[in-house]
Structures are given as structure tokens and as C-alpha cells.
Chain A
Amino acid sequence: MQKMIDEIKEKCAALIKNGEASRVIGWEKGELPYDRTPAVFDGEKAVGRLLYDAFCGANISKYLIAASKTGGKVIALLKPCDTYSLNQLLTENRVDRSGVYALGVGCSGMVDVEKIRDKGIKGIKDIEEIDGKLSIKTLYGDRTCDKSEVLLEKCLSCKGEKFAVSDDSVALLEGETAPSPSDRFSAVSRIEKMSPKERFEFWRGELSRCIRCNACRNACPACSCMTCVFDNARSGVSSKASPDAFEENMFHIIRAFHVAGRCTDCGECSRVCPQRIPLHLLNRKFIKDINEFYGEYQAGEQPYQRGPLVDYNVSDRDPGQV
């Protein structure tokens, strides 16, 4: 991994040195061994603090909406899946392409620390990744676990090693590969097979935990409205909290709907949710339906493609028709 970090730093430093770019958006070390905070590294020297490892799950493409418009080119470190988000943002003219230098960084899957905790591994003092295994020092003894068992939800349906958009890239080290994807719609299908009552109870159980912190919305690269309808006092739905179960349903249905056809399935919504609501299952339902009803579509795969909800076919099925 160190080799990869060095290469990233080298490339960034060179780009800043020759004046092509002025700063980098990447990740830096946080307060704990698994804490990685997205950060702006301004200037060649700051690049030294840059870090890249198995804990850089955050998708930084949304920062580019603002960063691409504030003078000078910004180098964005984008994992393959993050490049889909950038493409989508470019398609919607939310990011100024000329302000971004997309530096693809290879990814062999990102770790979800919550999943490590779920395994009962708590009090983590140090984590090291060695050959697909995580060796973890805790306050209560040393533990190991397979990295593949604790990957972020989004990594379980990895989009592969291809960058949808990039100006340059740093590939994975030899021997490392992207996680092999499993069927991303299996959970959706499982819910579809439930009875309406079970489905309703499943979603009530999940959505009732919502605290309306808006992390899903604010982290979502597709949610890029200047003022969200749920923040607009005149919309009549800016309730801020959910005094009734209905509000939770409405917020999440509408949020998923507003990104339907634009959602690249980057999984940020579920990753950031402090209540661990599987929000991606709402988005994936839309993706699955779009694929079934209107043909396979992957948002962000190509720049400037026409999304399925701003398009039509005269022979489309009628609503409600199975």
C-alpha cells in the first residue's frame, strides 16, 4: 500500500509543481487508526499528509461541486466507483470539468469498521492489512478477520477496476484485485418476495430509526440541489424532524425518487447513516425496476448519457402493469 501512496503523492506533487493543479482532495489520517477524513491539501508540501488505504471509503466527488469552481485545478483522488459519481455530476453540469484533474486510484475494497465491531471486535487500538487479512490489536486482545468479511456494503457489488472518467490513474499493486461482486439485487429480490405486511414491517423497522440528520442527503453526490425541497419552507414538507411515521416514509421515498435514474449506486447513503438504515435498498429497487422496465442502465458509466427518467420510449409499459 505504501508504494501506492508514494506514487499518488509523487503524481500530485508533480502536477502542483508544474502548475497544472493547485491542490488535492484526498484523505488524511484521523484520530484513530481507522479514521480517514477527506481533506484538501493545498500546495506541494501539504501533499505529504495524504493517505490512502483500506479505510478511505468516503466518496469525495461531491466536494468537487464547490471545489471545481474556486480557482485553479483541483486534483481529485477517485476510486473506480467514485468516478461514476463524477461522471454523473459532469452530466448534470454540476461540476466544472476544467477545474478538476481526476486521478483514479485503484481500490481493492474498503473496510467498514462497524462490521468489525459487529463481529464483537471492540476497543480497536490498531489495524493492519496483510494479504487480505486484517490483524487487529484491541484493548481486549489481538484478533484477526478476513477483509472480505468486513467490506463496506458498496464494495460487495464492486463496479470493477475501470475508471469511468480519469485524467490519469494509479493502479492497484500487482496481486491485488477489486472485490468480486455479488448480485447486488439479491436483497431487493428477497424483500420483493415478502408479503406486503412483512415488507411494511421491515421498512417500518428500518425507517423508524431515522433521526432526520440528512447525512444520506448531504453525502449523496446525486443530491446536489442548491435548496432541497425538504429545506424549503414554502414546499410544505420541510418538517425537519419526523413527528409521524409518515414523514420518514415520505422523506426517504422522495429522496430515493429524486435520485432515481441518476443514482450510481455508490452506497454513500448507507455508509453514512448513523442509524445504519440500509437506504441503498431503496435506490437499488429503483435501479432494478429501471433495468427491468427500460433496459439496463448504469448512471455515470458514460458522460452525458440521457437518464431513463428524462427519456421515454413510445412502447413503454403502463404504470402498475406487471
Chain B
Amino acid sequence: MLKITLDKISELLSEINKTHCVYAPVERSGEVCFDKWSEGEKVRLDVLKTSKSAKGVFFPQTEDIARFRSKGKELEISQAKTEGGPFVIFGVRACDVKSFEILDSVFLSDPVDSFYKARRENALIVAIACSKPEETCFCKTFSIDPAGPSGDVEGYTANGALYFEPRTEKGKNFCASIARLLEEGDEGAVRAEKEKIRGIMADLPFSSLTTKGWGKDEGNRKFNSEKWKELSDACIGCGACTFTCPTCQCYDVRDFDNGREVIRYRCWDSCMYNDFTMMAHGTPRKTRVERFRQRFMHKLCYHPENHGGVFSCVGCGRCIEKCPMSINIVKVMRAIGGEEI
């Protein structure tokens, strides 16, 4: 067990930054987002729910796919270049680590998304345990253990220090590369920390929330529930939940014409938007109710059906904090999950 005192974290990041890009929960104008860290920026390892989740590291908000150049009737198509090189994503919580697996099940299934895959392979994940879970956390519902966050290296904050435990070969090499800055730490401190976290988890308001009534075989029954209308009444159809959600992976593909060439890029998209399924002749999801239903059905029924029963939610609680109108997946799970139709 290795450790580093918390006051030396920026020194550590500088060290890593010499060879790797570092993504971390950085503070920008008072808000903490997962983003590329640069020298001098403040990293907030005490913040659980970064206002942008870590998914953007692998699945950026926008990225170029292709470039088209036309000359008369001729067309030239080239693949857009992507940034390469290994990087470290530092300070990811258990829920966000799990979200990478869920993104993997979509992007790495056949046909593999090469843009995503490249970034995924280049990443080393330093996860950290949640010392102070919050009231909006419900990762336990999805069998995620915030005291065992997984990743290439597992980290724990205890007694003013960050403890490291490599879990993969990659993680071991990483720890070796920063060994100069680390000192030997005590296993006991970490064990006590884990105990403490698990104790708090049992005490959370949503600790009794279950996925009962949801899953791969519930599709049609849940789809036809009458409660969707009432639940979606307050929804304003924005994409706050979708974009802050670490597992939402829908995207749009759009063209930008700069006068010389057309750049095709993909960007995050939200099933809450009315143009999401809009075709020339109309849309099958005409009202807010259908769009609202799609989002939750996808997370709680369709995704499990297509991916071996795994729900597309990790209980990070961002949607609870971010929804302008206080609608969230917990509310939906409770309202429709238990009912008999």
C-alpha cells in the first residue's frame, strides 16, 4: 500500500503530466468538471458529482469524424484526425468507472467505434473511493461499491493522504513510475476507511431503492404504464439530465460547412429533444410523454435487454441534482417500478 499526502497532489499531477495528459476534476470558475488538467489548476478530490461527468473524456461532447472537399462534381473524403497518446484519468468515482463499462457495451460492440476504442485503450484510470457519499447517491442499487471503486489504480483518502492500490498490470507500472513521490502507507487506514464508507452507504436516503419491477423482460408492461404522463408533466424537455448523465451515449451526426470544406462531426444528443427522431414526414415520439418515457425505458428496460441485464444507470445522482424541475430516475423507478398493471 502506497500513499501520498493530499498537499502533494499537484506535485504528483505535475509529475504524471510530464509523460501523460491528465484528466481530473478541475475547478473552473468555481465549478468542478472532469477536464484536461493543466499546471496550476486546482483539483478537487473532495467533490463527488462533477458537473460534467467523466464520460466526456472517452466520448467528447463534440468530435470531428470526417472532412469532405468538393471540386465540381468530385468529392474527396478524409477521416478527421484525433488526438492520440496515453493519458491518465485521475480521481474517478466508482459510479463513473462503472459508466465506462456501460459505454463500452455500446461503443465496443460490433462494429467497434474506433474513436472511442482508441481513447479507451490509451487511458489509465485512477479511481478513488467516496469518503463522504451524499444523499443523492444510489450506486448501491446497481451493486456498485463506492468503497471499492475499481479502475487500474484504486485510491482512498484517509488521514489527510491518498492511498494507492494498483489493480492491473498497467496500474502497477503507473505506481512504479510515480514511486519517487510515494511513501509506504498503512493497510489499516484503508480498511477502516472502507468500513466507514460502507456504514454511511447503509444510511443513505435511497439505500433501500431497488430495481424491482425493471429489467429486460419488463419492456412492454412498463411502456404501457399510465403514469408516464403524470411523471413527465413537469419535464421541460431540456437535455440537462442526458448531458450530465455518465451513461447517456446517444449522439447526433451533423455537417458544418465552412465555405471551403464540410466538416462532419458528432455531438451529444438528447432523446428529450423534439428533433431527436424528427423525419421529413414527422416523428414517432410526438409529445414530451413519449420522449420522457424513451429515456427511462432505455436505461431501465431496453439497455438491460440488449446487454445482458445490465442497467444503463450507475446511481451517480447527477440527474437528481441537475434537473431544473426535480424530476429524476429515482422518482420514475419508484413510481412505475413497483406498480402492478
Contacts and interface: CB of A to CB of B under 8 A. Distances in A.
Q: Are the chains A and B members of one assembly?
A: yes
A206 B29 CA distance: 7
Interface string A20-44: 0000000000111001111110000
Interface stretch (A7-15, A83-91, A122-130, A192-200): A122-130
A271 interface: yes
B237 A218 contact: yes
A122 to B, nearest CB: 5
Contacts of B256: 239, 243
Nearest first, the 3 closest Cβ-Cβ pairs linking A and B are A241-B267, A272-B324, A215-B238
B31 interface: yes
Given A218-B236, A241-B267, A122 B134 contact: yes
Contacts of A217: 238
Interface string A218-246: 11000000000001010000011111000
16 contacts: A30-B331, A32-B136, A39-B234, A58-B326, A124-B135, A125-B205, A139-B132, A211-B243, A212-B239, A212-B243, A213-B242, A219-B238, A241-B61, A243-B267, A271-B324, A274-B324
A214 interface: yes
Contacts of A139: 132-135, 200, 203-204
Interface string B192-207: 0000000010011110
A214 B238 contact: yes
B268 interface: yes
B325 A58 contact: yes
A271 B237 CA distance: 16
Interface string A121-145: 0111100000000000011100000
B325 A38 contact: yes
A274 B234 contact: no
Interface string A261-304: 00000001001101110000000000000000000000000000
B282 to A, nearest CB: 14
Contacts of B61: 211-212, 241-242
B8 to A, nearest CB: 23
Interface residues of A, number: 45
Interface in B118-172: 132-136
B234 A38 contact: yes
Contacts of A249: none
A218 B273 CA distance: 10
B176 interface: no
A212 B272 CA distance: 13
Contacts of A276: 30-31, 51
A268 B243 CA distance: 19
A181 interface: no
Contacts, number: 140
A271 B238 CA distance: 14
Given A37-B327, A211-B61, A241-B61, A219 B236 contact: yes
A240 B238 CA distance: 12
A211 B135 contact: no
A243 B62 contact: yes
A148 interface: no
A100 B256 CA distance: 44
Given A122-B134, A218-B238, A275 B31 contact: yes
Contacts of B28: 205, 208-209
B83 to A, nearest CB: 15
B233 interface: yes
A123 B243 contact: no
A32 B236 contact: no
A203 to B, nearest CB: 10
B81 interface: no
Interface string B14-34: 000000000000001111010
A22 to B, nearest CB: 15
**Most chain B C-beta atoms within 10 Å of own C-beta, residue among A32, A63, A208, A276:** A32
Given A32-B205, A140-B132, A213 B239 contact: yes
